A and B are shown apart, each in its own frame.
Chain A
């Protein structure tokens, strides 16, 4: 007989035990941290994919794309760089689900979709030094070393395509911005949206997914904070 969900078997027992150990760990930390799991500070984070220069760039760029000032968390508080690193280290980085056979035409117009031969990991790997080189030649320093205003100006230029990167890299800014927002809003189990802070900021209840009483409660703001897939509450 298979493992019936209602009837725990030994196999389930082993899995459940492992899970409970993990959960106890999380829960213990959560109590100390107001329900957000304890994590290493960003400056102690060991990237899985990004090298030191790339990490510095991603830290600096995401900090401008979603800055810390003003209401709501910034990309740094949300740990977006961790999210990007983990995504590039995984199946997204290697474009496992995408059709990547040649021939490629990276010069095709943007509305033809992803046509660069590079997968996202390769795109970051090649685009960051190319963009840094442009920053050095036009601003006198790598992107990460510029001040915030110059960084904003450099990103604006990149968005407009002014640096004239190789056609294979033309999709870099769009990708970086998309990944930054993903890391800001995705479930915290992917490394970003730390403490579900962006969801709290918006009033999005996360993975609760249960609102049968609410469609006819017109014009009443839904009051309860979010829950994550793993059960963190805020």
Chain B
């Protein structure tokens, strides 16, 4: 018999970006709130303190800051016919763990989607007709528009502390900003970061090619910053330890710099660490949840935490896992196309070109995760899908982001991977290479989805979640398009040599190399209960007191890093809870 805790108004599952946003906004309503975090408590000091965090082996290679697969993982197969095997060692993606979640170890690239990305099916239908949509693609509009979301994007950017330069200020296009972005009601909270040498070379070439470079929007403080909650950031010193690391300098947008201490100041909020939620419990009528059952790692026992509202704000994969285990939404069936939970798992399609210059010094260790100049000239809003034969797009960016030598050692093609030639190569080329990355959209497909694995179990005896995922020809064609567009610009830059790395048609998903931690979908938002798991307010269609936050809401993945959208949706959801749900708990749609 599980131990039972005192009932709360709200239980939050996972204390990262969205959990802490929900916590602080609902705490302002005076609700009695508890957050359950399966990992450990994490603060800038001591968790991420200098110099200990500046340890590529421990954090960059051994992946100590993330979810450890021994505690939780997924199985992966590329198609229905393949035997799913566990993702035993982290590689392709790095789910977060602990207070602050993945928000502690992201790169800080904070984008908004383009307006057309949220109405992508309509955009395609209106311009080219629905016949260009491939049969296996599940293309839907988001049930929210950019205009509806704009105040919430702005709110999140102020809280998170984003550095950048608006290219579209209330419709006015500004030189030096991104002319293809959605309109902004205000400029970025902070001025843009400085431009490193590699980024300036890229921007120069891109301009010559007729493109429109702008500083990448960074969840990194360019100056000292105080946010609306009174939380603070210190100016970044370009140490290059962003992705995979917590920021020791209080410079990266993290729950630790944006929300957590302000949240902890509310007496009506508390949180428990080492509290791993095992399932959401349902009322007998099946229409609402009654709370959650979690495993208390300190006491080594199961605990039932009753609550009136359940907010699932764990990492996307864990949210979907909990929903599948708890019966929230009908599980998606890839054969019939019916069901909603686990549907539309999507990812990111990336490529890039590395350039080598004998006589240029890039000091690759000087930078940050969101460094550089970017262009949106080959983004979703700028491409003629009908003519090009795919749906999607990408932004490009050049900017040094880490020179950590175990993982960041680009060498010209033909350099041996070991031996005297390798050693000579690293001496010759370290610091003399730069890259341009293409960060592309990933559509949703009938064949890419999440369900429960029939074979493998986690330490609690629960089935692991199974990911069925492979690259799709549509996105690979998009990737090859980006390669064709990028090569002439790279050629213009006058490198001694350069080499492209873009997955081509036929590529198979490889779980080993890091790609992105932009796992999306699985509990997508929709206009109707038959097409998605949650409504536009992230409210479970079939359990109105369960709200599911995060990138699991993404109908298909955008061409951008997801955090800006995740943060905007979190504020949109919490606003609805505050203004519509609390006074009259019910399905809001």
Contact = CB atoms under 8 A, between A and B. Distances in A.
Interface in A86-114: 92, 95-101, 103, 105, 108, 110-114
A218 interface: yes
A154 interface: no
Interface string B511-552: 110000000000000000000000000000000000000000
A155 B418 CA distance: 10
Nearest to B368: A215
Contact of B69 (A97, A108, A198, A231): A97
Given A70-B424, A114-B88, A212 B238 contact: yes
A45 to B, nearest CB: 20
A202 B430 contact: yes
Q: Could you tell me the dominant secondary structure of chain B's interface residues?
A: loop
Contact of A67 (B68, B367, B419, B431): B419
Name the residue among A65, A187, A217, A218 with the largest chain B CB count within 10 angstroms.
Answer: A218
A208 B366 CA distance: 11
A216 B197 CA distance: 7
B169 to A, nearest CB: 26
A74 B423 CA distance: 8
B56 A114 contact: no
Interface residues of B, number: 68
A215 B88 contact: no
A222 B405 contact: no
Contact of A229 (B52, B403, B422): B52
B237 A212 contact: yes
Q: Is the interface of A mostly helix, strand, loop or mixed?
A: loop
B423 A97 contact: no
Contact of B62 (A70, A92, A219): A92
Contact of B89 (A113, A159, A181, A212): A113
B76 A112 contact: yes
A71 interface: yes
Contact of A98 (B56, B69, B508, B509): B69
A177 interface: yes
A37 interface: no
A152 B419 CA distance: 8
A209 B197 contact: no
A198 B419 contact: no
B68 A97 contact: yes
Contacts of A159: 417
A163 interface: no
A108 B82 CA distance: 11
Contact of A211 (B85, B237, B422, B508): B237
B235 interface: yes
Interface string A187-220: 1001000000011011111111111101111111
Interface stretch (B14-22, B273-281, B334-342, B357-365): B357-365
B239 interface: yes
Interface string A119-144: 00000000000000000000000000
Contacts of B87: 99, 113
Nearest to A73: B423
B191 to A, nearest CB: 14
Given A97-B64, A99-B69, A113-B511, A69 B238 contact: no
Contact of B406 (A69, A71, A182, A217): A182
A214 B193 CA distance: 12
Contacts of A74: 423
Contacts of B45: 5
A204 B364 CA distance: 9
A65 B419 CA distance: 5
A177 B417 contact: yes
Contact of A219 (B361, B371, B427): B361
B579 interface: no
Contacts of B248: 209
A112 B241 contact: no
A169 interface: no
Contacts of B238: 211-212, 214-215
Contacts of A207: 51, 54-55
Contact of B508 (A111, A182, A185, A202): A111
B237 A72 contact: no
Contact of B424 (A71, A97, A210, A229): A71
A77 to B, nearest CB: 11
Contacts of B511: 111-113
Contacts of A67: 419-420, 423
A111 B510 contact: yes
A146 B177 CA distance: 62
B144 to A, nearest CB: 37
B448 interface: no
B237 to A, nearest CB: 4
Contacts of A64: 418-419
A103 B365 contact: no
B241 A209 contact: yes
A70 B420 contact: yes
B287 interface: no
A165 to B, nearest CB: 18
Nearest to A152: B419
Residue picked from B54, B371, B423, B511, most chain A C-beta under 10 Å: B423
A202 B427 contact: yes
A190 B57 contact: yes
Contact of A202 (B197, B236, B426): B426
Contacts of A219: 197, 360-361
A98 B88 contact: yes
Interface string B34-78: 000000000001000011101111000111100011100100100
Interface in B457-488: 457
Contacts of B403: 204
B70 A112 contact: no
B88 A113 contact: yes
B470 to A, nearest CB: 11
A116 B20 CA distance: 39
B351 interface: no
Contacts of B83: 105
B455 interface: yes
A170 interface: no
Contact of B56 (A105, A187, A211): A187
Interface pairs A-B: 8 shortest CB-CB: A209-B239, A111-B510, A99-B69, A186-B57, A218-B197, A207-B54, A212-B237, A97-B68
18 contacts: A67-B423, A70-B423, A98-B88, A98-B89, A99-B86, A112-B76, A185-B56, A185-B405, A185-B406, A187-B55, A202-B427, A209-B237, A215-B367, A216-B195, A219-B360, A221-B361, A221-B431, A229-B54
Interface of A: 5, 64-67, 69-72, 74, 92, 95-101, 103, 105, 108, 110-115, 152, 155, 159, 177, 180-182, 185-187, 190, 198-199, 201-212, 214-222, 229, 231
Given A182-B57, A186-B61, 6 more contacts: A65-B419, A101-B457, A155-B418, A182-B406, A219-B197, A222-B365
